[in-house]
Structure 1
Amino acid sequence: MSAETPVCQLLERQDADYSGWLWVAPPRDAWLEAGEGTLLTADQAVLAAWRARGRPAVSPLEAAPAAPPGAVLFWPKSHALGEWWLLWLCATLPPGAPLQLVGEHQGGIKRVLRVLAALGLGCRKVDSARRCTLFETRLDRVDLDPEAAWSRFEAEGLTLASHPGVFGHGKLDDGTRLLLSQLPGRITAGSEVLDLGCGDGILAAWLARQAARVTAVDVSHFAVEATRRTLVANGLDGEVLASDVYSALEARRFDTIVSNPPFHQERAIDYGPVGRLILEAPAHLRPGGQLLLVANAFLPYPDLLTRAFGGFEILADDRRFRVYAASA
C-alpha cells in the first residue's frame, strides 16, 4: 500500500527502519495505518481509525507511551502547537532518542530550525520532496514545562482555558460572539443542550450558567481538556467527551444543539464533519428540538440545512457570519 499524503510519501522513500517508532500527530494515511509503530495524537478521529485496525494508539493527555526507538513529529499548521509537541516529547521520551520532523513548506516546517536552535537541539536535513522537508534531531531535557502552554483569558464574564491548537486560542472568535448574542431566550433552564465542537468551552460555560444541562464534545483532546478546565474555573457542571461529531453519543437526543463548527482540516477546506453535523442532527434532537449554528456567510450550509430539516431561519447576518436555526 502506497502513501497517500505528501508528508507520508516523503517518509515512505526513506531507508530508515521505523518499526516500533512513535508517529506523532500524523494525518490520516492508509500507509501509516497499515504499517508499524504506535500512534500519538490528540485527534479522536485519527485515534479511532487506528484502534479500529487494532493498531496501538494513545493520546498525550491520557497516557505516555512506552519508550520507542524513535519518533516522527508531523509539524502542525499551528506553530505554537508544534512547539508544545516538542516540549512534551523532550519531557517524556529518553534523552538521546532520535526525532524526525516532517511537514509541508506551506505549513511552516522550515521554521523548525529556529525552534530547535532555541531549545539547544541540533538538527540536520534528511530529505526534501513534494514540497515537504524531513529534518532529524535527538531529544534532550529542556527547562520549559509543556504544562506552561495552558493559558487563561476572560470573555463574556467567564474565565476560559486555552491551549495551542484549540480553535480561537486565547481570544473569543467573532462568529462565536454573534452566536452568543442570539442564544438569550432560546435556552431554557433544565433543557439538555449539546455543544458540538466545544473548543475552549465558551458556549458550554455560557449554557451551563443558564442552568442548562450541558454535554460538550470535540474531536480534539486539547479542546476537551480546555472545556473541562473552563467549567471548573467557573464553578460550572457539564459532561465533556472526545467525539468525532456524534460518535461518542450513540442514540442520545437533546433539546438543542449549538455549534460553531470548523471547516478546515489543517489548511484544506473540509465540509465532511459539518455535513455529518447537520445531516445527522435530526436523529439527535427531540421532537421540536433546534439546531443553532454559526458559520462564515460564504459557506454552502443552506443546502445541507434544507436537506436535513426541510428549511431554516437566519437569525443574524453581519456579512461575515450567519447564525442559522433549524427545528426538528
Structure 2
Amino acid sequence: MTAETPVCQLLARQDHDYRDWLWVAPPRDAWLEGGSGQLLSGDHGVLAAWQARGRLSYGPFEAWGEPPGAVLFWPKSHALGEWWLLALCRQLPTGTPLQVVGENSGGVKRALKVLAALGLGCRKRDSARRCTLFETRLGPVALDPELAWQRFEAAGLTLVSHPGVFGHGKLDDGTRLLLEVLEQQPAWAGRRVLDVGCGDGVLSAWLATRGAQVSALDINAFAVEATRRTLAANAVTGEVIGSDVYAALPAEVRFDAIVSNPPFHQERDIDYGPTARLIDEAPARLTSGGSLILVANAFLPYPDLLERAFGGFEVLADDRRFRVYRAIKR
C-alpha cells in the first residue's frame, strides 16, 4: 500500500520495523490503515476507519497496551502535542522508543523544545516532503497530563476545556452571537435538542440549564470529554457521544432542534464536508416543525446548502463577521 500523506511518505521510506508499534494521532492514510500496528487517536472518524478494518485502536481516555514503540504525529495545537507526550510518558514503560513526525509548516520543530523541557533527549532521524522525523525514548516526567484541563467562566457557566478543542479557554464570538439568538427563542424546557460539534459543551450546558433534553456530538474525543465535564460542572445532564456528524446516532432518533457552531477547518485545511453533511441530513433528524440553528462566518457558502436541504431559511442575526441561520423542517 502506497503512503498518501507527506508524513506517512516520510515514515514509509524508513528502514525500520514498525510492527505492533502505536500510531498516535495520525491522519487518514491507507498505508497506515492497511499496515501493522495499533492506533491511538482522539478523532472518532479515524477510529471508525480502523475499527471497520478490524484493527486494534484506542481513544485517549482508554487504557493502552505496551507496544514496542510509538510514533506521535505532531498536531496543529502544540499544547495538545505536549499532552500526548505527557500521556505517553505516564502510561508507557520508561525507555520505550518514540518517534515524532510532522510537517515543517505545522511547527513540528517546536517539538524539540517541548521534549527538551521534559528532559527527553532527541535527535533528528530524517527529513523529506517538507516533514521532519525525530526520535527519542520515553522517560519519567513530573507533570500530570490532567493539568492540561482548564476551567473558566463564560455565559454564566463553568466551562471545562482541553488543548485541541475548538475555542480552548475562551468563548468565541460566533458562539456568543448564537447564544444571544437562542435566548430570544421560545422556551427550551422539555425540548429535545441536539448539539452537533459540541466543543467544550457551552451550548449543551446552556440549553440543559434551561430544561432542554440535550444530546451532544463531536468527532473529537477531547471535546466529548470536555462537554461531559462541563455538564457535570454545571450540575446538569445530557447524552454526549463521539460521532462523525450523525454517524453514531440511531437512524430513528429525532430532535425538536439542532444547534451548531460547525467547524470548517481540518488541521490547516478548509473542509466544508462535515457542515455539508450536517445541513443535508438535518431534515431527516428533525421532527416536523423542528429547526436547524447554526452560526457561521459570514463569508462561508452555507445559504445554498440550506436552500437545497430545507427549501428556505432565514438569517436571525448578522454582525458582519458571523451570521446565525435558521431553517425549519416543513
State the TM bucket, normalised to the shorter chain: over 0.9
Letter in 2 for 1:118: A
Higher alpha-carbon deviation: 182-191 or 219-228: 182-191
Letter in 2 for 1:58: Y
Q: CA deviation at 1:246?
A: 0.3
> Counterpart in 2 of 1:57?
57
d(CA) in 2 for partners of 1:106, 1:31? 22
2:4 aligned counterpart, secondary structure: coil
d(CA) in 1 for partners of 2:182, 2:176? 10
> Counterpart in 2 of 1:6?
6
- After the TM superposition, which residues 1-328 of structure 1 pair with which residues of structure 2 at under 5 Å, given as runs? 1-61=1-61, 63-184=62-183, 185-251=185-251, 252-328=253-329
**TM-score scaled by structure 1?**
0.99
Letter in 2 for 1:230: T
Q: Deviations over 1:63-100 (max 9, x none)?
A: 22210010000000001000000000000110000000
Q: Deviations over 1:185-232 (max 9, x none)?
A: 245310000000100000000000110100011111111111111111
| Identity within the alignment, % | 74
Q: Deviations over 1:28-80 (max 9, x none)?
A: 0011000000000011110000000111111021x222100100000000010
d(CA) in 2 for partners of 1:270, 1:139? 35
User: Unpaired runs of 5+ in structure 2?
Assistant: none
Q: CA deviation at 1:248?
A: 1.3
d(CA) in 1 for partners of 2:187, 2:108? 44
Runs of 4+ aligned residues of structure 1 deviating over 6 Å after TM superposition are none
1:326 aligned counterpart, secondary structure: strand
Letter in 1 for 2:168: H
1:303 aligned counterpart, secondary structure: helix
Q: Deviations over 1:229-270 (max 9, x none)?
A: 111111111111111100111221100000000111110001
1:32 aligned counterpart, secondary structure: helix
d(CA) in 2 for partners of 1:309, 1:237? 31
User: Unpaired runs of 5+ in structure 1?
Assistant: none
d(CA) in 1 for partners of 2:208, 2:174? 20
d(CA) in 2 for partners of 1:108, 1:227? 28
d(CA) in 1 for partners of 2:186, 2:262? 19
1:23 aligned counterpart, secondary structure: strand
d(CA) in 1 for partners of 2:123, 2:133? 9
Contact in 1 for aligned 2:198/2:216 (Cα 8 Å):
yes
Q: Deviations over 1:271-302 (max 9, x none)?
A: 11111100000000001100000001111111
d(CA) in 1 for partners of 2:250, 2:237? 22
Letter in 2 for 1:325: R
Letter in 2 for 1:86: L
1:274 aligned counterpart, secondary structure: helix
d(CA) in 2 for partners of 1:73, 1:186? 47
**TM-score scaled by structure 2?**
0.98
Contact in 1 for aligned 2:316/2:324 (Cα 8 Å):
yes
2:133 aligned counterpart, secondary structure: strand
2:48 aligned counterpart, secondary structure: helix
d(CA) in 1 for partners of 2:243, 2:76? 22
d(CA) in 1 for partners of 2:111, 2:310? 47
d(CA) in 2 for partners of 1:270, 1:228? 26
